[in-house]
Amino acid sequence: MKHIAFEYGAGTMEASLPDSTDIFIPGETVKDPACIPEEELEKAYQKSLAHPIGMDCLTDLVQKNEKPADRQTVVFIIPDRVKGGEQATSHRKLAVKYMLKELYAAGVKKEHILFIISNGLHPRSTEADALAIFGPELYGDFWHTGQIISHDSEDAEHMVDLGVTRRGDPVSMSRYVFECDIPILVGHVQGNPYGGYSGGYKHSATGITNWRSIASHHVPAVMHREDFTPVNGGSLMRDKFDEISMHMEYKMGHPFFCCDAVLDTMSRQIAIYSGYAREMMPESWKLADQRTYVHWARKKYDVLVFGMPQKFHYGDGMGTNPIMMMQALSAQVLRFKRIMSDHCVIICSSLCNGFFNDSRWPYLRELFENFQHDQMNILPDMNRLGEYYGTNAEYIRKYRFANAFHPFHGFSMMACGHIAEMNTSAIYIVGAQEPGYARAMGLKTRASFEEALADARKKYVGENPNILALPMTFKKAAVHLCMADSKLDSMDEYGRRPGDLHYGEHDVNQIKADQAGRELRD
């Protein structure tokens, strides 16, 4: 037998699994592409920023602007703490450092710099969050002057309505970004179950907009399509990210300047890419695919085994709150669907103790209760309440002023959460202290991994199932597992890659025409 420890609460729970069990740990079982040595990071940033893909470098953008350099405003759009690493050499910290150096040399004044943390519907960042994201030096330079702020999607005065995309999706964005002279997106190219990768146009389409715009893609009608599972770069959701962000660029009259880093399992930089997102994303994804879409499995697996800590990327309680648990389970289905058999079963340890963390998710207890009544048979049935929760004044106040998630965020979690039920025969929660919460979400409960596996063998997978153990699932940056003999990567089943858009070409052409016009006038 193999004795493997899986995450459980703040500790671990051990499982005894058959010797035939395979084990996969991100960054260990298959090594990541080599990261850039720390002593070479400055050179890598300087090279990328000096030769951006598809647009001018920052110095030239400043010089070609109609305003004098000392009057130009720059807004950096910075991801929140959900992803990206917080080490001294993190991409956020270094990208900002080297871009500021270039902007200052070009004549931009420090007082005209603003940093907006692009939390979207996530909790607005606290002072402690800002210190962790920016580090002591940048924090000390900009926090006390009010030049580091957190996006507030419900602040009507500082949001601007940009109408709709050609598909009809509503677009709103931060007025701070819309009105600045140079908007800079700092993003992370890490595997994400929502559309393939973070960074690029996903960053702007989700981080600086509002719930109505996000409701055009984080909903069952988009997330339950065949093109969404398994995760890939050619889904309707990904197209919508691109269209919404290009619509922002069209309305601004110029593109975002992007600086994205492909990151490894430890959130270290593998490569730096800068420039125009529409042309830069496909290039960055080519390398990111090598780390993220891991062609490893030589058989389909009937049982996936992993553990869920109480606290991980969305915060304390994600691994015990029943709705967030469902999202976390489904995220793994999205990542691993390519290697799952048609009757696959998941066995996952979780405290499942009823801790909702009401200060962070003040609405989820009520959502859970709603799900138990009023003909709510499956999670998509809850979607009809999205408008009701999305406009709930007290929950919105807690989002704006008490560092809680926006109430509509729960609906994107539920839309994702149903994917686990759609693609598995059964899901067992092991070690639940309050098992009724798991059973109320349609999950099975057992006291141990061994009991769960015995039941799954009897009912679903037979006596000799192919078992894959996935320790550290929520502790390390995940990968998207693929069959060893497959050739698919971030593109969808039809061979489309990011940039192969069917909508928004008018927006792209108009942006380029506007740029050419400015250059001609200059």
Please say whether the beta carbons of 388 and 344 come within 8 A: no
Answer yes or no: do 391 and 334 share one domain. Answer: yes
Residue 489: inside a domain: no
Answer yes or no: do 255 and 306 share one domain. Answer: no
CATH at 161? 3.40.50.11440
C-alpha 251/C-alpha 245 separation (Å) is: 10
CA atoms within 13 A of residue 26's CA, in its CB half-sphere = 25
Question: Is it the case that residue 164 has pLDDT exceeding 70?
Answer: yes
Domain containing 369 equals 2-31+298-483
Answer yes or no: do 187 and 81 share one domain. Answer: yes
The pLDDT, as a whole number, for residue 84 is 79
Query: At a CB cut-off of 8 Å and minimum separation 6, what does 377 contact?
Result: none
Answer yes or no: do 221 and 367 share one domain. Answer: no
The pLDDT, as a whole number, for residue 309 is 97
CA 191 to chain centre: 8
The per-residue pLDDT of the chain, averaged, comes to 93
Out of 337-351, 385-399, 424-438, 476-490, which region has the weakest mean confidence (pLDDT)?
476-490
The percentage of the chain sitting over the pLDDT mark of 90, rounded to a whole number, equals 91
Question: Is it the case that residue 433 has pLDDT exceeding 50?
Answer: yes
Residue 514: inside a domain: yes
Retrieve residue 405's tokens: 């998630």
Answer yes or no: do 223 and 281 share one domain. Answer: yes
C-alpha 488/C-alpha 222 separation (Å) is: 22
3-state SS class at 332: helix
The pLDDT, as a whole number, for residue 486 is 81
C-alpha 162/C-alpha 178 separation (Å) is: 10
| Cis peptide bond upstream of 230, omega within 30 | yes
Of residues 492 and 119, more confidently modeled: 119
Question: Is it the case that residue 469 has pLDDT exceeding 90?
Answer: yes
Of all helices (H) and strands (E), which one includes residue 349? strand 340-349
Answer yes or no: do 397 and 514 share one domain. Answer: no
C-alpha 517/C-alpha 66 separation (Å) is: 12
CA-based nearest residue to 256, from 271, 241, 246: 246
What's the one-letter identity of residue 375?
Answer: Q
Q: pTM here?
A: 0.93
DSSP assignment string, 457-510: IIIII-SS--EEE-TTTTTS---EEEETT----SS-TT---TT--SS-HHHHHH
Buried b / exposed e along 273-298 (16+ C-beta atoms within 10 A) = bbbbbbbbbbbbbeebbebbbbbebe
Residue 125: inside a domain: yes
Give how many domains the chain has, as a whole number. 2
The pLDDT, as a whole number, for residue 509 is 52
Question: Is it the case that residue 520 has pLDDT exceeding 60?
Answer: no
CATH at 474? 3.90.226.30
Residue 120: inside a domain: yes
Please say whether the beta carbons of 359 and 438 come within 8 A: no
How far is the CA of 278 from the CAs of 53, 284, 500, in angstroms?
Answer: 9, 11, 9
How far is the CA of 264 from the CAs of 187, 268, 517, in angstroms?
Answer: 14, 5, 40
Question: Is it the case that residue 514 has pLDDT exceeding 60?
Answer: no
Answer yes or no: do 389 and 464 share one domain. Answer: yes
Query: At a CB cut-off of 8 Å and minimum separation 6, what does 400 contact?
Result: 124, 152, 154, 155
Question: Is it the case that residue 160 has pLDDT exceeding 80?
Answer: yes
CA-based nearest residue to 240, from 346, 161, 168: 168
C-alpha 119/C-alpha 91 separation (Å) is: 17
Phi, psi dihedral angles at 108 (to 5 degrees)? -70, 140
C-alpha 12/C-alpha 81 separation (Å) is: 24
Answer yes or no: do 471 and 366 share one domain. Answer: yes
The pLDDT, as a whole number, for residue 421 is 96
CA atoms within 13 A of residue 417's CA, in its CB half-sphere = 26
Answer yes or no: do 448 and 313 share one domain. Answer: yes
Answer yes or no: do 302 and 382 share one domain. Answer: yes
Question: Is it the case that residue 12 has pLDDT exceeding 50?
Answer: yes
Query: At a CB cut-off of 8 Å and minimum separation 6, what does 2 contact?
Result: 16, 17, 18, 19, 21, 23, 469
Per-residue pLDDT band for 503 (boundaries 50, 70, 90) equals very low
Question: Is it the case that residue 502 has pLDDT exceeding 60?
Answer: no
Answer yes or no: do 108 and 257 share one domain. Answer: yes
pLDDT tens column, 69-126: 999 999 999 999 887 789 999 999 999 999 999 999 999 999 999 999 999 999 999 9
The pLDDT, as a whole number, for residue 85 is 85
Question: Is it the case that residue 491 has pLDDT exceeding 70?
Answer: no
Query: At a CB cut-off of 8 Å and minimum separation 6, what does 185 contact?
Result: 77, 199, 200, 203, 204, 256, 257, 258, 259, 260, 277
How many CB atoms are closer than 10 A to CB 236?
A: 17
Question: Is it the case that residue 290 has pLDDT exceeding 80?
Answer: yes
- In terms of DSSP bridges, do strands 11-17 and 2-9 run parallel, antiparallel, or are they unpaired? antiparallel
Question: Is it the case that residue 38 has pLDDT exceeding 50?
Answer: yes
The pLDDT, as a whole number, for residue 82 is 83
DSSP assignment string, 157-208: GGEEEEEE-TT--EEEEEHHHHTSSEEEEEEEE-EETTTEESSHHHHHHHHS
What's the one-letter identity of residue 222?
Answer: V
Mean pLDDT across the stretch 192-213? 96
Per-residue pLDDT band for 286 (boundaries 50, 70, 90) equals very high
C-alpha 459/C-alpha 505 separation (Å) is: 51
The pLDDT, as a whole number, for residue 143 is 98
Q: What is the 3-state secondary structure (H, E, C) of 7-25?
A: EEECEEEEEEECCCCEECC
Residue 119: inside a domain: yes
Answer yes or no: do 366 and 404 share one domain. Answer: yes
Question: Is it the case that residue 475 has pLDDT exceeding 80?
Answer: yes
Residue 490: inside a domain: no
pLDDT tens column, 338-394: 999 999 999 999 999 999 999 999 999 999 999 999 999 999 999 999 999 999 999
pLDDT tens column, 228-278: 999 999 999 999 999 999 999 999 999 999 999 999 999 999 999 999 999
Residue 430 DSSP symbol = E
End-to-end CA distance of the chain: 73
